[in-house]
C-alpha cells in the first residue's frame, strides 16, 4: 500500500508542477479558463494532502487500492491536461500568437469571432463524439492546408500567406505555418501527393500536424477532472479518519530470524571460500590481530547466511574460539538491542559486577577469544553507533577475535571492514548443477526416464545465474511434475518469479527493493526498460529518469543530474547495480533484472518474439519496449504480425515511453508508424537504429507536446536527414543524437526548446549551429560556440544567461575586439562550469597583443573550474588569474596549445592537477620544475619544436609520484628525459622510484635526438610502452598486460640489446620480437625464463656465441620460434639453437635464402655424430637439422618463400619422422618435394591441416591417403595437371576432411568418378555397413567445369554445405548439364560466385536449394540480374559486392524486407 500511496503522490506532484510558479495561472487568468486552472490546482492540493495523510495511516484492502488507483488516474489526466496547456502558453510566448488565449489581440469584432470559433469547435466535437481535439482536429488541419479539401467543405482559402478574419472564424485553426513554423525553410509541395511539405535539414519533408487548441474544451475537461477527483478524495478522507496511525514500517516483519544452525546439510560450491576463512581465522592472517571485522557481501539468495552457518558450526572453529555468538540484526540497527542480545549470548564470569550491557560484555570477553556473527545487516544508523558497538568488543586481551558480518549492501561492508570484504557471486556452473539437481531429485540418482528433462533443465539453470536460493525455488517447482511439458512451462513463463513464499527467491530479493525510498524504487524498476545483460551508461540512466520525471529536486542548489547521480550511487551501494571499473558502465544481475520486470509489470510491457502473442497486458501500461531479436525471415514475419495485433490490445494513447532495441527493417517502421499515430502522451522516445523509412515514419507523428527525452540513431553508413520537427517539442529536456549520422543542419528555431538541458551529437561542432543559443538557459553542454558578430545570434552576449553550463567551448575569439565584449559572456558567474575551452583561430588575430591579453583577462572563470583548455593565444604572458594571482587553483586538467607565452603558469601550485597537456608552444625550451606535481596522473608534450630539456630545482625528488601516463610526440630537439641522472642503476640494483614510481604507460614518438638512458622496464608498474624514432630505436613496444611482450626494431647505432632492455627485470616476458637488432646473447636469453614466443626478423645472426660450456647444459621453454628475412642466419646456426628448445611446438621459417636443406637427426645424445654425417653434404651451412627430440614436441611447421630449400634423400626421411606434427604450411618453396615424388605416403598421419602453395612435387593426392586425421586441405598453384585421385578416402567414413580449397589446378576434378572407389570402400567397410560422409563439408575451387558433373555432385550431395566457385575469366554461362549437377547438392547452405569476369548470368534453379541461407556474388561485373525463377525462401543473407551493375543492384534493393540481411558493396 505504501507504494500505491507514493505512486499517487508522485503523479499529483507532477500534475502540480506546471502551476507551481504561477506562470500558467497568469497566462490563463480569465473569467473562464483562469478559474478552472485555480479550481483544478486547489483540488490537486487537497488530493495531495489526503495522500500525505494516507501515508501515515494503517490502510489496506483491495477497495482502498482501487480508490488510490482512481486518484492516480485522474491526477494523471490532470497532469496531461495542464502539461498541454503549458505547451500552448509557451507557444504563444514564442510566436506572439493568441490562438491559445482568451481574447484576440485586435479586440472588438475579432474578440467575438475568436470566442465564437472556440465555442463552435466545442459544439462540433460534441456532435461528432470526439473526446479531445487530436486526431480529428489533425484532419481539420490537413483540410485547412489542402485547397481541394477546403473547397469541398465550403471554406475560403486566401492565396495570401497572411490569414484573414474570415479564416479565423471558420471551423479550422489557422494555417500551421503561421502558428508554429517548424523551421525557416520555405514550404514546398510534394510532386506526387500534392500535400504541402517543408524542407528540413536539407531534405523535403511533410509537415507534421500540430495539436489543435480549444479553450472551451479545455475548460470542460478541467471541470470533468475536478468532478472525478472530488468524490473519490472525499470518500478516501472519510475512510482515513477511521484508520489508526501506522507504526514504523518494518519490511522484514515476516522474515525468519536466522540462527547458527543451517537447514542445508551440505554446502555446494563454497568449500574453497569456507576453508580459506577458517584457515585465516585459526592459523592465518587474522590469528594474530586484535579484532578483525570481515564482511560477506552479496544480493539476497546467494547463500551468505548458509556459508557463515557452516563456518560457525565447524568443529575446528568451535574449538578455537572460547565464545561464539550469533545475532540476527535484520533491518533495524538498534545499538541497545544489539548489546543486550550479545550480552545474553556470553556466559557469566566469576566475580562480574552488574552494570550496563556494554560493561558486562567487556568483563565477560576480557580474557576470551570470540567469534561474533552479525547476520543480515541492513543498515547502520550512524558510524558512531558502530564504533560504540566495537568498544566493549575491543577490550578482549586475546588476539584473533573475529566479527563475521553478512549484508546485501557494499556500502555497509566498506564502512565496517578491517579486512577487504568477501563478495559472493553465483556458484560455478558445475557446482550449481549439483545443487540444482539435488533440489529437484533429492539424493537419488537420475534415472534414464528423467534424462530427457536435462536439456530443458540446463536452459533453466542458465537463467538462474548460480543463485542457490533460486535453485531451491525452481527445484521445488520442477519436482511437482517430472515431465517435459511442465518443465517447459516453468522455463518459458519464469514460474519462479511468481512464487510468494518468504523463502523463495523473488520475495527475498524484493525485500531489498521494499527497503528503498519510492524515488529509488522507480529508478531501479526503470532498468526493466532495457534488455537483459544490458550495459548501462550513467547518462543513459539519468536521462531516462529525467525524461520520466522521476527525479524531483528538494533544494535550490540541487540539479536533476545531481539527484540522479546520488540515486545511482545509492543503488550501487545497495547492490542493485554493479559498476565495471574498466569501462565505467553498470551491470545488473539477471535475477535483479527479473525483479525489476516483476515490480514494473503493471506499468511496463516488454515484448519480443517469444512472448508477444501470449503476454498479459494490464490496462495500466505506460511504458512499451520492443526488442527485435529474431534473424530468420519466418520468425520476423510472425513477430510483425503479432505486433500488429498487439496494438489492438494495448491502450497506445496512454503510453509515456516507447523504446526499441535491435535493428528495424522497413516493415517494422510501418508498424511503429501506426503506433505513433495514437501515442499522444509520450514522454520518452528511444529509437537508436532506425531504417531509411524512419524519416517518413516519424513525420506521421502527432505533435508530441509532452516529450521530455528523445534518443534517435541510425545504422552507420545510412545517410538520413533529421526527420522530426524538433523545435516544436517545448518540454524537451534531452535530445540525444549521438548515434545519428550525416546531420546536415539544424532548424534555426531550435532555441524554442527552452527546457533543453542536454544536446548530444556525434560532432561537437554541431553545437556551433544553434542560433540564438542564449535562449536555452538550462543547457548544460555547449561544446562549440563560434563568435561571429557579423551574424545575428552568435555574439558573445549569447552566453550571458547560460548559467547552468557544465561544459563550454568558445572559438574564434579573434572576433572579439574589446574586453567589454568578452566580459559580457560573464564566465565568472557560471558557478556550475566544470570544463572551459578558449580558442583563437590559428591564422592569427588582428587585435593588438595588449588588447588580446585584456580579453583573456576578462574571460576569467569561477574559481572551482576543473578543466581548462587555451589554444592560439598570441600574447607573451598568461592571464593573471592563471599566473601570478592564481584563481583556478583546483584545476584538474590543463591543456595549453599554440600559445605564445614566454613562461608557463605556476603548475606546481595547482595542487589538484591530474592531467597536463602542453602542445605547440614554440617559446618553451626548458621545462622548469620547481615544485612536486603531487597528483599529476597524465602528462603530454606534443609538437614542442624548441623543447630541449627538463630543468628540475636542486632539491627535487619524487617530482611525479603518481604519474601513470607520459606521452611525448614530435619534439625534435629533446635530448633527455628527467630521469637521466636519477633512475639509471646497475642491473642488480633494486627498482628506482625517484621520478616516475607509478608510471604505467609511456609513449615517445619522433624525438630523434632523445637517448633513452633508462632501460625498459624501469618501474614495476610499467604496463605499456610505445617508443618510435628515437636514438638507437626505430620501434620499442612493451606490454605487460594481456600478453607480456617486447617488440624491438633497432637502428645501426645499437650494438647490444642491453642498451634498451633490462633483461634482469623481464623474467615474466612471454613474447619477444627482434627486428634489425644485434644478436641475442645467451646470457640474456637464459634470463627470460617465461619466454614462449621468439621472433628474429632481418637479423644477420640469431643468438650470440653460446660457448662450449653451454652447448647442452641449458634448456629454454620457448614454444614458438619464427625466423624471417634473416639473410645472415644459417641452417647450422638455427640447428644449434634448436638443441636448446626441447618444448618447441611451432617453427616458422620465412624468406631465409641461406637455408637450403632439411633433414631429421637422431636424438639429443647423438647430436654430434649426426652432425658429422651431415658434414658429408656439400652445403654444410645451409642444412637445418631437426633433432629427434623435436619429433614429440613439434606441432606446427611453416616454411614460406624459401625457394632453394629441399629435402635430403633417404636415409633422411623428413616429414614422417615428425610424428606429432598437426599443421604443415609450405608456401613458395617449389623444390621441397622432388619432382616425380612416389605415390607412397610422405606426410605424417598426425596431420590435421595441410597447406601446399607453389609446391610442384605431387601429381595426385595419393601421397595424402594416410592422413585420416586431416580436416583442412588447401592446395594452391601446385601443378596445373594435379588430379584429385586419392581424395575419396579423405571424404568418406575413414576420413575427417571438412574444408578443401583447390586453386590453380584447372583440371583437378576432371574425369573423376568416385563411384568405383565407393564400391571398393564399401567392401572394405564390411557387409551391411553403410558408406557415409560425415559432417558438413566446405569446398572452394576454380575447377567448376570438372566439379559440376553428376557423379561428383551426387557423391557430395549429402555433405557439401559451403561451395565457392571462383577465378574464371572465360565462362559466360553455365551449361544445362552443369546446372543439373549443381542442383544435386541439396545440402548447400552457402553458395558463392567470385571473380567471374565474363559471366553473364547466374545458374538457373537456385530457388530449388531449400537449405540455402547465404548467397554471394562478388566481382562478377557481367551479371545483370538475379535468376528469373527467384531465390530460395530459406535465404537469410544476400551479398552482392563489387559487381557495379545498376540493374542488379536495383533488383537487390527491391528485396529489402524479404531477406533479413542484404549487403551491397561497390568496387573501391
Query: What pLDDT score was predicted for residue 151?
Result: 38
Q: Is the pLDDT of residue 365 over 60?
A: yes
- 574464371: which residue's cell? 1368
865 Rama sector, left if φ>0, alpha if ψ -120 to 50, beta otherwise: beta
Element (H, E) at 38: helix 33-54
Query: What pLDDT score was predicted for residue 478?
Result: 79
Question: In angstroms, what CA-CA distances link 574 with 304, 550, 1184?
Answer: 15, 19, 66
Q: How far apart are the C-alpha atoms of 1266 and 1241, rounded to whole Å?
A: 6
Report CA dihedral (255, 261, 267, 272) to the nearest 10 degrees. Answer: 110
Q: Binning pLDDT at 50, 70 and 90, where does residue 1327 land?
A: very low
Computed over every residue of the chain, the mean pLDDT equals: 79
Residue 846: helix, strand or coil by DSSP?
coil
Q: Are 446 and 437 in contact (CB under 8 A)?
A: yes
Query: What pLDDT score was predicted for residue 985?
Result: 41
Q: Binning pLDDT at 50, 70 and 90, where does residue 856 land?
A: very high
Q: How far apart are the first and last CA of the chain?
A: 65
Of 117-131, 649-663, 730-744, 1427-1441, the poorest mean pLDDT is in 117-131
Sign of CA dihedral 571, 575, 581, 586: negative
Task: Identify the CA nearest to 478 among candidates 510, 498, 456, 504.
Answer: 456
Verify cis geometry, omega within 30 degrees of 0, for the bond prior to 1211: yes
Query: What pLDDT score was predicted for residue 444?
Result: 66
Query: What pLDDT score was predicted for residue 695?
Result: 60
Task: Identify the CA nearest to 1075 among candidates 1038, 1102, 1043.
Answer: 1102
Query: What pLDDT score was predicted for residue 1047?
Result: 95
| Rounded average pLDDT over 797-823 | 92
| Rounded average pLDDT over 222-226 | 87
Q: Is the pLDDT of residue 1121 over 90?
A: yes
Report CA dihedral (54, 55, 61, 62) to the nearest 10 degrees. Answer: 90
Task: Identify the CA nearest to 1042 among candidates 582, 586, 537.
Answer: 582
Q: Is the pLDDT of residue 362 over 80?
A: yes
DSSP assignment, residue 829? G
Query: What pLDDT score was predicted for residue 1004?
Result: 94
Residue 3: helix, strand or coil by DSSP?
helix
Q: Averaging pLDDT over each range in 299-313, 390-404, 1020-1034, which range is the top one?
A: 1020-1034
Q: How many CB atoms lie within 10 A of CB 266?
A: 11
Q: Is the pLDDT of residue 207 over 90?
A: no
Q: How far apart are the C-alpha atoms of 1275 and 1250, rounded to whole Å?
A: 8
Q: Is the pLDDT of residue 1173 over 60?
A: no
Q: How many CB atoms lie within 10 A of CB 319?
A: 9
Q: Are 1285 and 1308 in contact (CB under 8 A)?
A: no
The model's pLDDT over 74-98, given as tens digits with 9 standing for 90+, comes to: 888 888 888 888 888 888 888 776 6
Report CA dihedral (582, 588, 591, 596) to the nearest 10 degrees. Answer: 180
Q: How far apart are the C-alpha atoms of 35 and 226, rounded to whole Å?
A: 12
Q: Is the pLDDT of residue 966 over 80?
A: yes
Burial of 532-554, coded b for 16+ CB within 10 Å and e otherwise, reads eebebeebbbbbbbbbbbbbeee
Q: Is the pLDDT of residue 1438 over 60?
A: yes
Query: What pLDDT score was predicted for residue 1406?
Result: 93
Q: How many CB atoms lie within 10 A of CB 844?
A: 10
For the residues of 1141-1183, what is the DSSP string, one character each? Answer: -TT--EEEEES-TT--EEEE---GGGHHHHHHHHTTSS-TTTE
Q: Is the pLDDT of residue 892 over 90?
A: yes
Q: Which residue has the higher pLDDT, 672 or 166?
A: 672
Query: What pLDDT score was predicted for residue 210?
Result: 56
The model's pLDDT over 975-1008, given as tens digits with 9 standing for 90+, comes to: 887 654 443 344 444 444 456 888 999 999 999 9
Q: Averaging pLDDT over each range in 279-283, 892-896, 907-911, 1353-1357, which range is the top one?
A: 892-896
Q: How far apart are the C-alpha atoms of 1103 and 1057, rounded to whole Å?
A: 12
Query: What pLDDT score was predicted for residue 209?
Result: 52
pTM for this model (two decimals)? 0.76
Q: Are 399 and 369 in contact (CB under 8 A)?
A: yes
Q: Averaging pLDDT over each range in 256-260, 1037-1041, 1236-1240, which range is the top one?
A: 1037-1041
Q: With pLDDT > 70 as the criterion, what percentage of the chain qualifies?
A: 80
Q: Is the pLDDT of residue 1401 over 60?
A: yes
Can you give the three-state secondary structure of 884-910, one letter per residue? CCCCCCCCCEEEEECCCCCCCCCHHHC
Q: Are 699 and 673 in contact (CB under 8 A)?
A: no
Query: What pLDDT score was predicted for residue 804?
Result: 93
Q: Is the pLDDT of residue 369 over 60?
A: yes
Radius of gyration of the chain (CA): 40
Query: What pLDDT score was predicted for residue 477?
Result: 76
| Rounded average pLDDT over 605-623 | 84
Length of the chain: 1468
Residue 1345: helix, strand or coil by DSSP?
helix
Of 181-195, 335-349, 1221-1235, 1328-1342, the poorest mean pLDDT is in 181-195
| Rounded average pLDDT over 1366-1387 | 89
Can you give the three-state secondary structure of 992-1007, one letter per residue? CCCCCCCCCEEEEECC
Sign of CA dihedral 1374, 1376, 1381, 1383: positive
Question: In angstroms, what CA-CA distances link 1245 with 1288, 1310, 1315?
Answer: 16, 27, 25
| Rounded average pLDDT over 1432-1442 | 90
The model's pLDDT over 686-705, given as tens digits with 9 standing for 90+, comes to: 987 776 555 666 665 656 88
Please count the CA atoms within 13 angstroms of the CA of 1237 that sit on its side-chain side: 27
Q: How many CB atoms lie within 10 A of CB 1369?
A: 9
Task: Identify the CA nearest to 637 among candidates 1461, 1407, 1460, 1463.
Answer: 1460
The model's pLDDT over 1062-1118, given as tens digits with 9 standing for 90+, comes to: 998 998 999 999 999 999 888 899 899 999 999 999 887 788 765 444 444 678 899
Q: Are 1395 and 1367 in contact (CB under 8 A)?
A: yes
User: Which three three-digit cell numbers place residue 220?
Assistant: 470542460
Query: What pLDDT score was predicted for residue 135?
Result: 36
Our measurement of the distance from residue 223's CA atom to the centroid of its chain's CA atoms, rounded to an integer in Å, reads: 49
Question: In angstroms, what CA-CA distances link 988 with 21, 984, 1064?
Answer: 75, 11, 8
Our measurement of the distance from residue 196's CA atom to the centroid of its chain's CA atoms, rounded to an integer in Å, reads: 42
Q: Are 690 and 668 in contact (CB under 8 A)?
A: no
Q: Are 862 and 833 in contact (CB under 8 A)?
A: yes
Please count the CA atoms within 13 angstroms of the CA of 93 that sit on its side-chain side: 17
Q: Which residue has the higher pLDDT, 766 or 1071?
A: 1071
Q: Are 1144 and 1117 in contact (CB under 8 A)?
A: no
| Rounded average pLDDT over 1173-1196 | 73
Q: Binning pLDDT at 50, 70 and 90, where does residue 782 land?
A: very high
Q: Is the pLDDT of residue 1167 over 80?
A: no
Q: Partners of 1158 in the beta sheet?
A: 1184, 1207
The model's pLDDT over 398-428, given as tens digits with 9 standing for 90+, comes to: 888 999 999 988 888 888 888 788 888 888 8
Q: Give phi and psi for 936, each to the nearest 5.
A: -65, 125
| Rounded average pLDDT over 327-349 | 86
The model's pLDDT over 868-883, given as tens digits with 9 standing for 90+, comes to: 999 999 888 899 999 8
Q: Are 1331 and 1369 in contact (CB under 8 A)?
A: no
User: Which three three-digit cell numbers place residue 263?
Assistant: 537447514
Q: How far apart are the C-alpha atoms of 40 and 32, rounded to whole Å?
A: 13
Task: Identify the CA nearest to 1434 among candidates 1396, 1401, 1386.
Answer: 1386
Query: What pLDDT score was predicted for residue 897?
Result: 94
Sign of CA dihedral 968, 974, 979, 983: positive
Query: What pLDDT score was predicted for residue 158?
Result: 36
Q: How far apart are the C-alpha atoms of 1028 and 515, rounded to whole Å?
A: 57
Query: What pLDDT score was predicted for residue 1376?
Result: 92
Of 803-807, 846-850, 1049-1053, the poorest mean pLDDT is in 846-850
User: Which three three-digit cell numbers place residue 1115?
Assistant: 634448456
Q: Binning pLDDT at 50, 70 and 90, where does residue 744 land?
A: low
**C-alpha angle 296-297-303 in degrees, rounded to nearest 5:** 80
Q: Are 809 and 782 in contact (CB under 8 A)?
A: yes
Q: How far apart are the C-alpha atoms of 1220 and 1197, rounded to whole Å?
A: 11
User: Which three three-digit cell numbers place residue 349?
Assistant: 564470569
Question: In angstroms, what CA-CA distances link 1025 with 391, 783, 1015, 1375?
Answer: 51, 32, 11, 61
Q: How many CB atoms lie within 10 A of CB 1332?
A: 10
User: Which three three-digit cell numbers place residue 638?
Assistant: 510472425
Q: Give phi and psi for 917, each to the nearest 5.
A: -125, 120
Amino acid at each position: 500500500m505504501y507504494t500505491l500511496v507514493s505512486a499517487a503522490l508522485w503523479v499529483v506532484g507532477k500534475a502540480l508542477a506546471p502551476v507551481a510558479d504561477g506562470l500558467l495561472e497568469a497566462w490563463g487568468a480569465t473569467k473562464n479558463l483562469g478559474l478552472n486552472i485555480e479550481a483544478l490546482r486547489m483540488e490537486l492540493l487537497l488530493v495531495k494532502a489526503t495522500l500525505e495523510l494516507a501515508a501515515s495511516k494503517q490502510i489496506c484492502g483491495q477497495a482502498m487500492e482501487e480508490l488510490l488507483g482512481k486518484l492516480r488516474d485522474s491526477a494523471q489526466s490532470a497532469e496531461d491536461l495542464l502539461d498541454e496547456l503549458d505547451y500552448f502558453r509557451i507557444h504563444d510566448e514564442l510566436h506572439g500568437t493568441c490562438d491559445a488565449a482568451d481574447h484576440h489581440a485586435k479586440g472588438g469584432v475579432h474578440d467575438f469571432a475568436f470566442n465564437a470559433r472556440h465555442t463552435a469547435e466545442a459544439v462540433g466535437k460534441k456532435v461528432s463524439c470526439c473526446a479531445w481535439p487530436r486526431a480529428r482536429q489533425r484532419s481539420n488541419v490537413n483540410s485547412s492546408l489542402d485547397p481541394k479539401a477546403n473547397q469541398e467543405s465550403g471554406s475560403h482559402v486566401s492565396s495570401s500567406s497572411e490569414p484573414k478574419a474570415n479564416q479565423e472564424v471558420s471551423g479550422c485553426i489557422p494555417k500551421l505555418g503561421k502558428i508554429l513554423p517548424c523551421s525557416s525553410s520555405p514550404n514546398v509541395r510534394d510532386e506526387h501527393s500534392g500535400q504541402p511539405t517543408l524542407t528540413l535539414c536539407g531534405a523535403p519533408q511533410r509537415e507534421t500536424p500540430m495539436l489543435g487548441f480549444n479553450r472551451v474544451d479545455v475548460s470542460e475537461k478541467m471541470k470533468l477532472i475536478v468532478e472525478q477527483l472530488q468524490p473519490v478524495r472525499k470518500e478516501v478522507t472519510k475512510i482515513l479518519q477511521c484508520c489508526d496511525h501506522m507504526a514504523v514500517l518494518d519490511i522484514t516483519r515476516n522474515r525468519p530470524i536466522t540462527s547458527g544452525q543451517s537447514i542445508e546439510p551440505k554446502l555446494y560450491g563454497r568449500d574453497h571460500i569456507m576453508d580459506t576463512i577458517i584457515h585465516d581465522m585459526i592459523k592465518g592472517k587474522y590469528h594474530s590481530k586484535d579484532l578483525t571485522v570481515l564482511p560477506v557481501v552479496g544480493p539476497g539468495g546467494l547463500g551468505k547466511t548458509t556459508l557463515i552457518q557452516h563456518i560457525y558450526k565447524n568443529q575446528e572453529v568451535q574449538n578455537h574460539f572460547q565464545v561464539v555468538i550469533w545475532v540476527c540484526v535484520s533491518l533495524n540497527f538498534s545499538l541497545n538491542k544489539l548489546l543486550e542480545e550479545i550480552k545474553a549470548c556470553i556466559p557469566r564470569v566469576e566475580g562480574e559486577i552488574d552494570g550496563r550491557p556494554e560493561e558486562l560484555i567487556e568483563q565477560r570477553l576480557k580474557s576470551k577469544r570470540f567469534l561474533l556473527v552479525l547476520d543480515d545487516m541492513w543498515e547502520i544508523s550512524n558510524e558512531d553507533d558502530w564504533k560504540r558497538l566495537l568498544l566493549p568488543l575491543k577490550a578482549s586481551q586475546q588476539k584473533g577475535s573475529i566479527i563475521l558480518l553478512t549484508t546485501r549492501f557494499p556500502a555497509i561492508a566498506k564502512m565496517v571492514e578491517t579486512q577487504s570484504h568477501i563478495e559472493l557471486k553465483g556458484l560455478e556452473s558445475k557446482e550449481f548443477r549439483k545443487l540444482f539437481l539435488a533440489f529437484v531429485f533429492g539424493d537419488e540418482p537420475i534415472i534414464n526416464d528423467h534424462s530427457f528433462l536435462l536439456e530443458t533443465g540446463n536452459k533453466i539453470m542458465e537463467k538462474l545465474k548460480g543463485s542457490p536460493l533460486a535453485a531451491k525455488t525452481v527445484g521445488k517447482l520442477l519436482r511437482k511434475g517430472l515431465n517435459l511439458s511442465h518443465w517447459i512451462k516453468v522455463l518459458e513463463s519464469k514460474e519462479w518469479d511468481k512464487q510468494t513464499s518468504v523463502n523463495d527467491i523473488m520475495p527475498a530479493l524484493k525485500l531489498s527493493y521494499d527497503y528503498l525510498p519510492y524515488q529509488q524504487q522507480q529508478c531501479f524498476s526503470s532498468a526493466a526498460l532495457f534488455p537483459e545483460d544490458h550495459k548501462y551508461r550513467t547518462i543513459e540512466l539519468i536521462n531516462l529518469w529525467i525524461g520520466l520525471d522521476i527525479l524531483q529536486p528538494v533544494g535550490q542548489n540541487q540539479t536533476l543530474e545531481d539527484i540522479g547521480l546520488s540515486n545511482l550511487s545509492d543503488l550501487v551501494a545497495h547492490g542493485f547495480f554493479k559498476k565495471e571499473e574498466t569501462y565505467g558502465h553498470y551491470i545488473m544481475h539477471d535475477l535483479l533484472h527479473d525483479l525489476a520486470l516483476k515490480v514494473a509489470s503493471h506499468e511496463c510491457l516488454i515484448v519480443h518474439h517469444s512472448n508477444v502473442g501470449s503476454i498479459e497486458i494490464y490496462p495500466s501500461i505506460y511504458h512499451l519496449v520492443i526488442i527485435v531479436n529474431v534473424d530468420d525471415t519466418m520468425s520476423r514475419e510472425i513477430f510483425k504480425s503479432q505486433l500488429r495485433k498487439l496494438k489492438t490490445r494495448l491502450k497506445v494513447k496512454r503510453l509515456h515511453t516507447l523504446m526499441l532495441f535491435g535493428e528495424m527493417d522497413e516493415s517494422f517502421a510501418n508498424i511503429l508508424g501506426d503506433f505513433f499515430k495514437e501515442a499522444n502522451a509520450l514522454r520518452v522516445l528511444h529509437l537508436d537504429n532506425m531504417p531509411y523509412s524512419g524519416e517518413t515514419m516519424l513525420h506521421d507523428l502527432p505533435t508530441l507536446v509532452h516529450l521530455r527525452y528523445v534518443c534517435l540513431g541510425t545504422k552507420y553508413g545510412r545517410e538520413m536527414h533529421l526527420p522530426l520537427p524538433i523545435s516544436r517539442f517545448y518540454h524537451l529536456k534531452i535530445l540525444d543524437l549521438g548515434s545519428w549520422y550525416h546531420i546536415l543542419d539544424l532548424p534555426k528555431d531550435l532555441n524554442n526548446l527552452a527546457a533543453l538541458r542536454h544536446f548530444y551529437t556525434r560532432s561537437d561542432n554541431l553545437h556551433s549551429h544553434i542560433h540564438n543559443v542564449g535562449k536555452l538557459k538550462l543547457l548544460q553542454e555547449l561544446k562549440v560556440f563560434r563568435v561571429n558578430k557579423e551574424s545575428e545570434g552568435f555574439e558573445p552576449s549569447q552566453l550571458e544567461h547560460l548559467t547552468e553550463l557544465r561544459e563550454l567551448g568558445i572559438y574564434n575569439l579573434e572576433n572579439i575586439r574589446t574586453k567589454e565584449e568578452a566580459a559580457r559572456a560573464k564566465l565568472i558567474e557560471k558557478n556550475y562550469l566544470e570544463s572551459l575551452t578558449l580558442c583563437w583561430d590559428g591564422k592569427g588575430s588582428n587585435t593588438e597583443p595588449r588588447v588580446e591579453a585584456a580579453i583573456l583577462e576578462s574571460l576569467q572563470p569561477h574559481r572551482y573550474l576543473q578543466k581548462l583548455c587555451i589554444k592560439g593565444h598570441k600574447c607573451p604572458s598568461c592571464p593573471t588569474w592563471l599566473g601570478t594571482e592564481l584563481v583556478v587553483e583546483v584545476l584538474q586538467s590543463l591543456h595549453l596549445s599554440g600559445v605564445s607565452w614566454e613562461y608557463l603558469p605556476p603548475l606546481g601550485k595547482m595542487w589538484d592537477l591530474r592531467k597536463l597537456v602542453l602542445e605547440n608552444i614554440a617559446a618553451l625550451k626548458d621545462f622548469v620544475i620547481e615544485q612536486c606535481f603531487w597528483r599529476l596522473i597524465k602528462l603530454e608534450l606534443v609538437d614542442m619544436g624548441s623543447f630541449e630539456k627538463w630543468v628540475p630545482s636542486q632539491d627535487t625528488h619524487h617530482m611525479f609520484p603518481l604519474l601513470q601516463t607520459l606521452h611525448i610526440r614530435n619534439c625534435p630537439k629533446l635530448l633527455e628525459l628527467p630521469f637521466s641522472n636519477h633512475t639509471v642503476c646497475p642491473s642488480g640494483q633494486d627498482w628506482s622510484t625517484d621520478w616516475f614510481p607509478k608510471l604505467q604507460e609511456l609513449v615517445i614518438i619522433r624525438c630523434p635526438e632523445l637517448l633513452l638512458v633508462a632501460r625498459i622496464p624501469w618501474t614495476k608498474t610499467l604496463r605499456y610502452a610505445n617508443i618510435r624514432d628515437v636514438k638507437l630505436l626505430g620501434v620499442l613496444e612493451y606490454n605487460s598486460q594481456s600478453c607480456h611482450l617486447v617488440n624491438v626494431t633497432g637502428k645501426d647505432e645499437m650494438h647490444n640489446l642491453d642498451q634498451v632492455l633490462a633483461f634482469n627485470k623481464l623474467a615474466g616476458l612471454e613474447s619477444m620480437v627482434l627486428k634489425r637488432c644485434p644478436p641475442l646473447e645467451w646470457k640474456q636469453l637464459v634470463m627470460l625464463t617465461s619466454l614462449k614466443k621468439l621472433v628474429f626478423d632481418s637479423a644477420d645472426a640469431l643468438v650470440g656465441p653460446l660457448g662450449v660450456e653451454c652447448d647442452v647444459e641449458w634448456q629454454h621453454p620457448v614454444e614458438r620460434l619464427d625466423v624471417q628475412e634473416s639473410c645472415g642466419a644459417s641452417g647450422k646456426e638455427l640447428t644449434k639453437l634448436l638443441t636448446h628448445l626441447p618444448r618447441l611446438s611451432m617453427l616458422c621459417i620465412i624468406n631465409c635464402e641461406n637455408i637450403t636443406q632439411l633433414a631429421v637427426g637422431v636424438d639429443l645424445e647423438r647430436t654430434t655424430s649426426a652432425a658429422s654425417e651431415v658434414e658429408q653434404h656439400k652445403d654444410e651451412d645451409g642444412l637445418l637439422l631437426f633433432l629427434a627430440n623435436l619429433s614429440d614436441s613439434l606441432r606446427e611447421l611453416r616454411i614460406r618463400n624459401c625457394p632453394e630449400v629441399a629435402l635430403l634423400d633417404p636415409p633422411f626421411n623428413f616429414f614422417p619422422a615428425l610424428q606429432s606434427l598437426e599443421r604443415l604450411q609450405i608456401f613458395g618453396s617449389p623444390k621441397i618435394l622432388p619432382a616425380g615424388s612416389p605415390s607412397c605416403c610422405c606426410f605424417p598421419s598426425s596431420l590435421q591441416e595441410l597447406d601446399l602453395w607453389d609446391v610442384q612435387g605431387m601429381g595426385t593426392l595419393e601421397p595424402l591417403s594416410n592422413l585420416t586425421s586431416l580436416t583442412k586441405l588447401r592446395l594452391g598453384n601446385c601443378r596445373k595437371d594435379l588430379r584429385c585421385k586419392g581424395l575419396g578416402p579423405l571424404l568418406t567414413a575413414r576420413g575427417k576432411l571438412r574444408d578443401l580449397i583447390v586453386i590453380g589446378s584447372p583440371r583437378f576434378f576432371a574425369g573423376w568418378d568416385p563411384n568405383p572407389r565407393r564400391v571398393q570402400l564399401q567392401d572394405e567397410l564390411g557387409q551391411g555397413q553403410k558408406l557415409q560422409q560425415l559432417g558438413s563439408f566446405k569446398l572452394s575451387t576454380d575447377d567448376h567445369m570438372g566439379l559440376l558433373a553428376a557423379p561428383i555432385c551426387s557423391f557430395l550431395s549429402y555433405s557439401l554445405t559451403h561451395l565457392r566457385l571462383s577465378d574464371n575469366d572465360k565462362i559466360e554461362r553455365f551449361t544445362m548439364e552443369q546446372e543439373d549437377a549443381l542442383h544435386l547438392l541439396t545440402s548447400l547452405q552457402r553458395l558463392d560466385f567470385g571473380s567471374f569476369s565474363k559471366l553473364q548470368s547466374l545458374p538457373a534453379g537456385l530457388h530449388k536449394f531449400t537449405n540455402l541461407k547465404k548467397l554471394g556474388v562478388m566481382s562478377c561485373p557481367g551479371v545483370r540480374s538475379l535468376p528469373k525463377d527467384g531465390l530460395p525462401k530459406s535465404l537469410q543473407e544476400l551479398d552482392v559486392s563489387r559487381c557495379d551493375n545498376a540493374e542488379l543492384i536495383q533488383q537487390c534493393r527491391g528485396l529489402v524486407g524479404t531477406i533479413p540481411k542484404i549487403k551491397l558493396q561497390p568496387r573501391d
